[in-house]
Amino acid sequence: KQEVTQIPAALSVPEGENLVLNCSFTDSAIYNLQWFRQDPGKGLTSLLLIQSSQREQTSGRLNASLDKSSGRSTLYIAASQPGDSATYLCAVVGRNYQLIWGAGTKLIIKP
Amino acid sequence: GAGVSQSPSNKVTEKGKDVELRCDPISGHTALYWYRQSLGQGLEFLIYFQGNSAPDKSGLPSDRFSAERTGGSVSTLTIQRTQQEDSAVYLCASSLAASGRGQETQYFGPGTRLLVL
């Protein structure tokens, strides 16, 4: 059974710092891995999707990597801003195309 | 529409009553997914549709939960005889297709916050 773990559960850093969020999964037989952000009272926003054949994806200040063999993904956020404060969720697409979710990392960027 | 919409945004109901939650996917998206997020817990997969059929109903927590999709568009999630443990945010997502590759980005609606008293 696929399990997704995110570390740390919470992170607070000063504005401007670069930071890394970690995601690990137990079954390397995945179709893809997605990173989302969740803002209080709002829906989920997809940030990056890495297909199983890819090793990384970039969007603006975000870079996500995927190492299937070790069951790990990282989300790198450069030059963090207060607006980046949110909960970041990692999810893998497994059998039947459902997303298996991590518990999330709550990120606070202090001005 | 521009994104996935869900209604109602909030629903308060009494234990034992039935509720219907609605999801309007992005136009042209053939795959539709329902999830729920209970307080303090992670997101939980409930069911997904490819067109009007639901190949995977394994996530529905009990037979009080059912979902349908008509015309390959709007979907309704029905909870019968609601219980307090059904209180959660119910999220809907759509993607261009599940496609057999599972490589389509899922776009989420804002959710319906359900409170069962």
Q: pLDDT per residue over B13-48, tens digit each?
A: 999 999 999 999 999 898 899 999 887 677 788 998
Q: In this predicted model, what pLDDT tens digit does every residue of B67-99 receive, in sequence order?
A: 999 888 999 999 999 999 999 999 999 988 765
CA distance A24 to A3: 8
Distances (CA, A) of A64 to A10, A18, A34, B45, B93: 18, 13, 9, 24, 22
Flag if B42 and A101 touch (Cβ within 8 Å).
yes
Kindly state the average pLDDT of the residues A67-73: 95
Residue A93 binned pLDDT confidence (cut-offs 50, 70, 90): confident
- Which residues on chain A are in Cβ contact (under 8 Å) with B33? 98-99
Flag if B4 and A49 touch (Cβ within 8 Å).
no
- Which residues on chain A are in Cβ contact (under 8 Å) with B98? 97
Which candidate from A43, A93, A103 shows the least CB-CB separation from B102? A93
Cβ–Cβ under 8 Å, residues B48 and B56: yes
Which candidate from A31, A94, A98 shows the least CB-CB separation from B103? A31
Flag if B58 and A96 touch (Cβ within 8 Å).
yes
What size, in residues, is chain B?
Answer: 117
- Which of B103, B107, B112, B113 is best to mutate for the A interface (most A CBs within 10 A)? B103
